Structure 1
Amino acid sequence: MLEIDGVQAGYGRSLVLHGVSLSVPANGVAAVMGHNGAGKSTLLRVAIGLLKPRTGAVRLAGEDITRLAPHERVARGMAYVPQGQQCFPHLTTLENLRLIADSRPDGRAAIDSALDLFPALRALLGRRAGLLSGGQRQQLAIARALITSPTLLLLDEPTEGIQPSVVAEIEQTILALTERGGLSVLLVEQHVGFALRAAERYYVLESGRVTSSGEGGADAEHSVRSALAV
């Protein structure tokens, strides 16, 4: 679904990614792990078009999208949930969802579908998003992205700073979405167990380079933890 091929990217004179290559399987999950500063968020910014690579290519379903703007990538089926449980804090949960849904002809149905995935949000529709817990805001952020009916979802640290019970719900939702087909996920994550349970493929990023990769699953945990310990 997504190919990142030999990408170099950075900010100003600083190069953050040094020839990174990876792929996201169709209807599956690829996980990118690494310590803070490894370049994981920069990689997602390149994927969604917020940062142009200096060299290399980004391809979506075989199409070269390297020079496309973010809104053009969204129109092709990409959705991005950045780090930090982002929402509009002074708007209610429902108003946050409507900001995305009202521009769609199937907006009401899209909201209902997103709420079916995160049913805990139904009781919070009238509450201001700024008053939600971190886990609830993260569910809201993912629900908003799913309203666009993406074929590729980019998730940046979705479990950061949230309680284990919500981590489990997010994991189950991601697995359910990919199992029913039509959605691929590029997951940036530091929670190794969660990432490997969700992912078909994993990549370990260190100082802007892929230092380890392989098939996901519990059998890969030792290899990943060893790579992260270096």
Structure 2
Amino acid sequence: MLEIAAVRAGYDRTTVLHGVTVAVPEDGVAAVLGHNGAGKSTLLRTAMGLIRPMAGSVLLDGEDITRLAPHQRVARGMAYVPQGQQAFPHLTTAENLRLVADGRTGGRAAVAEALDLFPVLRELSGRRAGLLSGGQRQQLAIARALVTRPRLLLLDEPTEGIQPSVVAEIEETVLALTRRGGLSVLLVEQHVGFALRAAQHYYVLETGRVTSSGEGGGDAEQTVRTALSV
């Protein structure tokens, strides 16, 4: 569904990605793993159009979207959840979701579907987002992205800094979303076990280059851990 082909990208004169190629399958998951500073977030930002590549291309359903602005990619069904449990802190949980839903066809139903996935958010609908725990804010960030009913979801470290009980909930939600079809996911994740359980294909990034790749699943875990230990 998404192909990032031979992309070279970075910031100003600093190149972070050196000819990276990553493909996300239709109705499937591709996981990107690597240590801090490997270029994982830069890869997602490039896919979303927040960084324009110096070379290479980004294709969505075979269409070259390399030059499209982020809002044009959203209109084509892409959604992005960056690191940091981002939300509008002075708005309530419900207001954060309605802000995304307003003006969208079926917006109210999309909010209801997102709350079904994260029931705790329904219980906290009247609480300001700034008063939520880190795990609850992360669930809210994912729910907000899902309100747009994307076909492709980019998730940047969705379990980073989250308490273990909520990590399990987020993992199960991501797995459930991919099992029901209609959604592809490009997942950047530190938890190797979760990433490989979710993904049909994985990529290991090291200093902006793909150093290992293969099929996902539990059988790949030792290979990936070895690649990450180098």
Provide the TM-score with structure 1 as the length reference.
Answer: 0.99
Superposed, 1:188-207 pairs within 5 Å as 188-207=188-207
Alignment correspondent of 2:187: 187
Instruction: Tell whether 2:103 aligns with 1:93.
Output: no
Aligned partner letter, 1:111: V
After TM superposition, the runs of 4+ consecutive aligned structure 1 residues lying more than 2 A away are none
- SS of the aligned residue for 1:158 comes to coil
1:224 deviates by 0.5
1:124 deviates by 0.2
Aligned partner letter, 1:19: G
Superposed, 1:48-127 pairs within 5 Å as 48-127=48-127
Aligned partner letter, 2:171: E
- SS of the aligned residue for 1:166 comes to helix
Superposed, 1:5-84 pairs within 5 Å as 5-84=5-84
1:166 deviates by 1.2
Unaligned runs of at least 5 residues, structure 2: none
- SS of the aligned residue for 1:27 comes to coil
Alignment correspondent of 1:129: 129
1:176 deviates by 1.2
1:105 deviates by 2.5
Aligned partner letter, 2:123: A
For residues 105 and 187 of structure 2, the distance between their equivalents in structure 1, rounded to whole angstroms, comes to 29
- SS of the aligned residue for 1:66 comes to coil
Q: C-alpha deviations, 1:65-110, integer Å up to 9, x for none?
A: 0000000000000000000000001110000001101121211111
1:212 deviates by 0.3
Instruction: Tell whether 2:173 aligns with 1:166.
Output: no
Q: C-alpha deviations, 1:122-166, integer Å up to 9, x for none?
A: 100000001101110000000000000000000000000001111
For residues 4 and 120 of structure 1, the distance between their equivalents in structure 2, rounded to whole angstroms, comes to 35
1:120 deviates by 1.1
Alignment correspondent of 1:217: 217
Task: Indicate the larger mover: 164-173 or 116-125.
Answer: 164-173
For residues 145 and 12 of structure 2, the distance between their equivalents in structure 1, rounded to whole angstroms, comes to 30
For residues 68 and 139 of structure 2, the distance between their equivalents in structure 1, rounded to whole angstroms, comes to 28
For residues 10 and 105 of structure 1, the distance between their equivalents in structure 2, rounded to whole angstroms, comes to 36
Aligned-residue CA RMSD in angstroms? 0.6
Aligned partner letter, 1:204: V
Aligned partner letter, 1:194: F
For residues 3 and 105 of structure 2, the distance between their equivalents in structure 1, rounded to whole angstroms, comes to 31
Q: C-alpha deviations, 1:32-65, integer Å up to 9, x for none?
A: 0000000000000000000000000100011110
- SS of the aligned residue for 1:171 comes to helix
Identity percentage of aligned residues: 79
For residues 214 and 227 of structure 1, the distance between their equivalents in structure 2, rounded to whole angstroms, comes to 12
Unaligned runs of at least 5 residues, structure 1: none
For residues 165 and 213 of structure 2, the distance between their equivalents in structure 1, rounded to whole angstroms, comes to 28
For residues 9 and 22 of structure 2, the distance between their equivalents in structure 1, rounded to whole angstroms, comes to 15
- SS of the aligned residue for 1:87 comes to coil
- SS of the aligned residue for 2:44 comes to helix
